[in-house]
Structure 1
């Protein structure tokens, strides 16, 4: 098993050097995908490659979305020969000390996605908290299961070959819908997800790239597609429940 770290990054500059400094202590390759950031910030990212020898910078010429950046990172990880990829956000939301636990769980269950299950403090915006429960409901419907406890946390370990095989056959969402859709579709393919609690914070000066109108429309359309996909797969999903796969 060989691991790398994937960081999708669109204009997150303020804490990225600190994030990289913490992650570099793990002595793992780091792939940061610059998703069409502003020229000055892109130039700053280039300087980080000299500061961190473990860092590989991949750049999109224009912004494509977080999901597209993660997909680029996963394909890069496969080309590098990595069996597993750890997804980490660039804005400092995640507790990086928990990466060691991610690795431990992944080594124990290498064929599964390992995902954080967020524990929030008072910094979480209430509208985001409520929207998560709506998404949880639809994911449970789309999988006919309660196995996916959180589908929106971007703090994960992916088995690279199984995930890229999915990317090669299905066109997944390229923005905020990606994190949700990939877990549902991997579940349909028999790739389970193991969850563990981890603290997630929302920094006061954090930058959100969520577009209320466009992203909510994209997520609603994604849930529509997944719902009808579930109907087609419902006999198989119900059979798996009978056989004890999933909850």
Structure 2
């Protein structure tokens, strides 16, 4: 049986959540917000939303929040989770299409392939191109459209099989969990999703810290590429 929940990692982004939750409730799916130790005023705002909230004691990053959330939803019997970033950068009107595609391919990971407008920072675009290149090389998979998009439907069982090996907890999480799933031969389906960058948007991306973590992730999988290549050849 296919049972989907929305999973929203959250850290000090409550200003847009009320609008997001209003949209998500139309789909009659359970909604879980995992609060990553936000400030009190943001926690107070979450209490007004009438959805399930899982509170983390310490800030660990969106990856840490996702891991807690998917394990919690697994215990409740959910088979799939749609991860949505709390900043509302992604076009939520595509949710119906994502869910339909996931139901037709329940064993596959459905990933957003971002379509950017003129408001997208050039540094982000270049950074994503570099990441997509390295993920393609390190997984021997040339079909990678975007390795950083936080809009995905994960099959719960498939994801839990690899998540204990995922050391990334912050902005490098979306990259490493994709590395692990691709190297475990998970099937990935890509679907376009528009992305917008509001002028008043709040970003938790820290250039030095997060770029360093992402670089370390690529290096780790590059160093293990010969072993992975040998395994692929022998299988």
Scaled by the length of structure 2, the TM-score of the pair is: 0.96
Residue 12 of structure 1 and its aligned partner are, at CA, apart by 0.3
Q: How many residues of Structure 1 are paired with residues of Structure 2 in the alignment?
A: 234
Distance 2:131 2:166 in 1: 20
**Aligned pair partner of 1:155 in 151, 154, 165:** 151
Per-residue CA shift, 1:25-74, capped at 9, x if unaligned? 0000001001110011112112222xxxxx21001112110111111111
Give the aligned partner of residue 216 of structure 1.
211
Instruction: Say whether 1:129 aligns with 2:125.
Output: yes
Instruction: Say whether 1:165 aligns with 2:161.
Output: yes
Instruction: Say whether 1:145 aligns with 2:141.
Output: yes
Distance 1:137 1:171 in 2: 20
Contact kept, 8 Å, 1:116 with 1:195, in 2: the verdict is yes
Q: Secondary structure at the match of 2:27?
A: coil
Q: Secondary structure at the match of 2:48?
A: helix
Distance 2:75 2:145 in 1: 31
Give the aligned partner of residue 91 of structure 2.
95
Give the aligned partner of residue 184 of structure 2.
189
Q: Secondary structure at the match of 1:190?
A: coil
Instruction: Say whether 1:117 aligns with 2:120.
Output: no
Q: Secondary structure at the match of 2:168?
A: coil
Spell out structure 1 runs of 4+ moving beyond 2 A: 235-240
Residue 80 of structure 1 and its aligned partner are, at CA, apart by 1.3
Contact kept, 8 Å, 1:144 with 1:238, in 2: the verdict is no
Contact kept, 8 Å, 2:166 with 2:176, in 1: the verdict is no
Give the aligned partner of residue 39 of structure 2.
38
Give the aligned partner of residue 22 of structure 1.
23
Distance 2:172 2:24 in 1: 26
Per-residue CA shift, 1:141-192, capped at 9, x if unaligned? 1111113221111000000011012123x14200000101111110111112
Distance 1:236 1:104 in 2: 34
Q: Secondary structure at the match of 1:119?
A: strand
Instruction: Please give the root-mean-square deviation of Cα atoms over the aligned residues, in Å.
Output: 1.2
Distance 2:234 2:152 in 1: 28
Distance 1:102 1:113 in 2: 10
Q: Secondary structure at the match of 1:227?
A: helix
Give the aligned partner of residue 245 of structure 1.
none
Instruction: Say whether 1:81 aligns with 2:82.
Output: no
